[in-house]
Structure 1
């Protein structure tokens, strides 16, 4: 057993030694650089990453860089080292001391050579060497890559510089850059418009934002800072590429409606890209062109809405009325849509009622306020002038007029659901009419006659007297209020006056709002108006009153409501039962009593008979 155990231990030792040597032969030092050749532009930076793996010893590895120039007959030139300050040769010593040429570590075994500003003579084969820290010298200790330094041909110019003058919120902004690159090597170009935003103190800071760009694949991409993505999707930010002069392409950015967040310093950046053999795109050159400062002024600070004339206007009935809404400070008139409304508030106050509106697309619509019948128009005149005209004014047109303007900054055709950028109202102008004095009195009357019965015709008279000058007509309304259960009429202030039954207009037209009965209204003489209810029934009972409104003629012959009105007191209508209905009651009672007595007698006789029959059957059984 002991001999067998020692043999197995010896076998395991041999296996472990073999695995160790196998591992040593597989794991060895390896230095890697990106595949070449790499094309970079003179005057711009070079960054070469160098990695070492499979090493032994310290995790902090040292790196040394050599340059093999094409014109140096294969001689190598020391560039920079992580362990020896005296390593650089004379062509690089000063640049290393100034930091223009340096080594930057990504980790202990990863570092990159950085040349801040490439010179044409920096072209050649670069070798990355890692001094050995291994117990045995095996593997690769260096790697090299060819770097081609090409001439800088990237050009960028502008067509206009912002002058720093304030522009109104909602104004359109258009900026143009011209850019080109003429390289023997195949490269791509991207152009980006950006802005350095304002700080809280108002000065231009370093809040860098990319607004929009055309990338190296000619794709338009909005910036991710601020609201640019949303505004791009809404079509408010746009960028395009056009062919220009002098072999330069034009890159145009448009912001259809400037917002307050767009204040800042604008720039245009062009970048040159090359596709490295590794398959990665590398930016090898870029230039930035400053386009000036822009200050966006809030629309509320500049928008002005006023009514012409101002103050008070006094007219005769039938006279025309002309009001103008003057809008200024809205910016470019062909870039912002406006919704203009004319509002009126009655002489006694209350809420504003819309008289007319002009939508952003120029369509005019009228509110219920046009019901006076005087006619009117709403028109857009010169820039910022919107007029309201009433051809013939009447007392119902009196009140305070004002215009309300809603601005859709930078939007020519806003959607119905789009919120306005700003809405502002003008000061009001009071429109008064000199009306002649009119007094009116209305009295309701139920003519004396035999008691009203169900099924008969109920007649009510409304006698109206008017004191004024000139021709007049009267419009009469009839109202009914049903009594409450306890028979008391509720005449408390503000109580319900009932429902309207019929109207006889000033021009003789009648309107019936039937309660189920047949109704007619007419004028039987000057100042006397009649309501008749045919075949009246229980629902026709209640309290009735009439209302009268006076109409007169204006100098042009048009009729208008003077506003003078009167309301009568109430008269009660009660319907009695007919004679036939009264005779029917005892008949019904008599028949019901007879039937009841008969049923009782039959029940008693039947009960006694059944008891006697049951008694006889029990005796016979015994």
Structure 2
């Protein structure tokens, strides 16, 4: 019955389907093409049986030149079952049966040999009460020679590379087979991150058996592949070998570890499932990625302290080292300044050089074209002030933000690391400037509401060279404090009313109720006029003077010298018309009151008299 045809068994099964189960043994459709020297696994399952759930299996081999003679390979119930060619291989475990369950097993060849080619039959000894169904099934195995080749130059030599460096690995592979097989190539790293464990491996990117590029599993490799940071390209090489090149545009510390290249040969079995029939792996070297936080160095020159003559040029240089070669990382270079040479005060940005090459200056640092910021060479940036002014003194630092692997980062991209240089103290030798400001109100009649108020500010400057004065007029008023505080408490409010710049430009800063003008009436004398002054224009007035000097290049700059005058009180009296209005209002009110009283009295008396006349006698 073991040799009976499958078709006859099916007919017999259908005849007994109502009365009994029908045993069926199943193996894959053939032929199966496998490569010598690599594993072979043939599954076999039995269904529709009676008896115990754990079934026995016996495997036979019918070689092509055996003329139908069978050769026992292995049995699950008889240790003496294998024929002589298989006895040693079965004892060593090279040929074995692995159970998936009680009624499903696999015949496994650890290393297939050319002489293992033939038809393999899976037989299940009967445990049924009646002998019905098919008790065996067979599949043909074709053994093809191993032609899989792989090679790779060992480009990783163990030297640490900085974070953000480009990694490029190549691997060559080829296979020559008469059968239609496909080749896949995978690049990966063993261990987890910087771990040296070899028990795990991470596939980075591959060209799979269907010739599609596939990134490794996990968000990291998928995202980097989608962003174009990891690529794999196939090209034609020498000697019939195809060359596979993996490129990582910027490595990160987590990329550290031993790298490998793996080539696999695949074939499509008759059941439509792809099977890996050969595989070779090759170590390409160990990668150690040094974090930028450890390798980046930022230095500025000159170092320590530098003194510059007023109007002389000032040049500061920023040196950036520890970056990966090739310029694959974007740099944002900023010059920062603390406003005093003692290191106190607020740090502010002077200028910046963006990764896209655009230079921007702080608004009051543009200096009318009196400075520049340039990239002199890779990793070397200079800040030049063509004519140094007193406002340029302070402590300068170069701050560098690195975007590893992103030459032109997006506006929301976070920097990989930011580092600053030591401070450079810049002192300016300036000429001595003395300034004095005196505010006064010209003598004249008493000021009344609606009059024009005139205030003068006399400024005297002692210095060498050209000088100009910028004058500000300050208005001080007394206002009550916030609610909830002592009602008798008041505070002084100071606001800039108007100013006259050193180049003669007047500015009005306050929403004053009166019209205001400022001008210079003579050298050293500056005038403030308030037309049609009102009550809210009263208070204390102060003038403040700042001296501007001129450098050798003719550029005006603020010397920092300033002076403030004493207070001048402005009080407005009432006008004569306003004084006449008071008795007029009082008189009208009094007359109206007297008239009402008289009318009321007369009316009351008249009504009483009229009532008495009408009373009957």
* Fold shared, TM-score > 0.5 on shorter chain: yes
Contact 1:372 1:396 in 2 (8 A): no
Matches of 2:301 and 2:277 in 1, distance apart?
64
Query: SS in structure 2 opposite 1:516?
Result: coil
Runs of 5+ in structure 2 lacking a partner?
Answer: 1-14, 482-490
TM-score by length of structure 1 reads 0.90
Contact 1:191 1:270 in 2 (8 A): yes
Matches of 1:172 and 1:607 in 2, distance apart?
114
State the Cα distance separating 1:566 from its structure 2 match.
1.2
State the Cα distance separating 1:460 from its structure 2 match.
1.1
- State the partner residue of 1:549: 546
Matches of 1:546 and 1:207 in 2, distance apart?
79
Contact 1:81 1:88 in 2 (8 A): yes
| Cα deviation code 1:191-211 (max 9, x no counterpart) | 1100013677x6454331110
- State the partner residue of 1:4: none
The structure 2 residue matched to 1:305, chosen from 298, 304, 324, is 298
Number of equivalences: 590
Describe the shift of the 1:472–1:130 C-alpha distance in structure 2 as closer, same or farther (beyond 3 A). Answer: same
TM-score by length of structure 2 reads 0.90
Matches of 2:306 and 2:166 in 1, distance apart?
40
Query: SS in structure 2 opposite 1:88?
Result: coil
Q: Does 1:356 align with 2:351?
A: yes
Query: Equivalences for 1:109-508 in 2 at 5 Å?
Result: 109-197=103-191, 203-225=196-218, 227-347=220-340, 348=342, 349-370=344-365, 372-373=367-368, 375-485=370-480, 498-508=494-504
State the Cα distance separating 1:343 from its structure 2 match.
1.1
Matches of 1:112 and 1:605 in 2, distance apart?
136
| Cα deviation code 1:209-234 (max 9, x no counterpart) | 11011111122111114721221122
Matches of 2:263 and 2:143 in 1, distance apart?
19
Name the stretch that deviates more: 559-568 or 163-172. 559-568
Q: Does 1:569 align with 2:533?
A: no
- State the partner residue of 1:538: 535
- State the partner residue of 2:487: none
Describe the shift of the 1:32–1:585 C-alpha distance in structure 2 as closer, same or farther (beyond 3 A). Answer: same
Matches of 1:142 and 1:430 in 2, distance apart?
93
Contact 1:324 1:387 in 2 (8 A): yes
- State the partner residue of 1:5: none
Contact 2:479 2:493 in 1 (8 A): no
Q: Does 1:87 align with 2:75?
A: no
Query: SS in structure 2 opposite 1:162?
Result: coil
Describe the shift of the 1:369–1:206 C-alpha distance in structure 2 as closer, same or farther (beyond 3 A). Answer: farther
| Cα deviation code 1:562-606 (max 9, x no counterpart) | 111112222222222111112112223333444455566667778
Query: SS in structure 2 opposite 1:300?
Result: helix
Contact 1:29 1:140 in 2 (8 A): yes
Contact 2:161 2:289 in 1 (8 A): yes
State the Cα distance separating 1:559 from its structure 2 match.
2.6
- State the partner residue of 2:488: none
Contact 1:267 1:289 in 2 (8 A): yes
Describe the shift of the 1:412–1:471 C-alpha distance in structure 2 as closer, same or farther (beyond 3 A). Answer: closer
State the Cα distance separating 1:329 from its structure 2 match.
1.3
Matches of 1:30 and 1:608 in 2, distance apart?
139
Matches of 2:444 and 2:118 in 1, distance apart?
129
Query: SS in structure 2 opposite 1:484?
Result: strand
| Cα deviation code 1:140-162 (max 9, x no counterpart) | 11111111111222221114431
Query: SS in structure 2 opposite 1:91?
Result: helix
Contact 1:204 1:265 in 2 (8 A): no
Matches of 1:615 and 1:94 in 2, distance apart?
158
Matches of 2:33 and 2:608 in 1, distance apart?
133
Matches of 1:270 and 1:430 in 2, distance apart?
61
- State the partner residue of 1:9: none
Describe the shift of the 1:86–1:608 C-alpha distance in structure 2 as closer, same or farther (beyond 3 A). Answer: farther
State the Cα distance separating 1:358 from its structure 2 match.
0.8
Name the stretch that deviates more: 65-74 or 565-574. 565-574
Matches of 1:277 and 1:39 in 2, distance apart?
10
The structure 2 residue matched to 1:44, chosen from 34, 38, 60, is 38
Matches of 2:157 and 2:532 in 1, distance apart?
88
| Cα deviation code 1:236-276 (max 9, x no counterpart) | 11112222222222211111100001110000111111111
Matches of 2:79 and 2:446 in 1, distance apart?
131
Contact 1:372 1:560 in 2 (8 A): no
Q: Does 1:516 align with 2:513?
A: yes
Q: Does 1:54 align with 2:51?
A: no
| Cα deviation code 1:274-307 (max 9, x no counterpart) | 1111111111111111101111111122211111
Name the stretch that deviates more: 516-525 or 213-222. 516-525
Runs of 5+ in structure 1 lacking a partner?
Answer: 1-20, 487-494
Contact 1:132 1:141 in 2 (8 A): yes
Contact 1:483 1:543 in 2 (8 A): no
Query: SS in structure 1 opposite 2:186?
Result: strand
Matches of 1:64 and 1:602 in 2, distance apart?
142
Describe the shift of the 1:596–1:39 C-alpha distance in structure 2 as closer, same or farther (beyond 3 A). Answer: farther
Describe the shift of the 1:138–1:481 C-alpha distance in structure 2 as closer, same or farther (beyond 3 A). Answer: same
Query: SS in structure 2 opposite 1:502?
Result: strand
- State the partner residue of 2:9: none
- State the partner residue of 1:99: 93
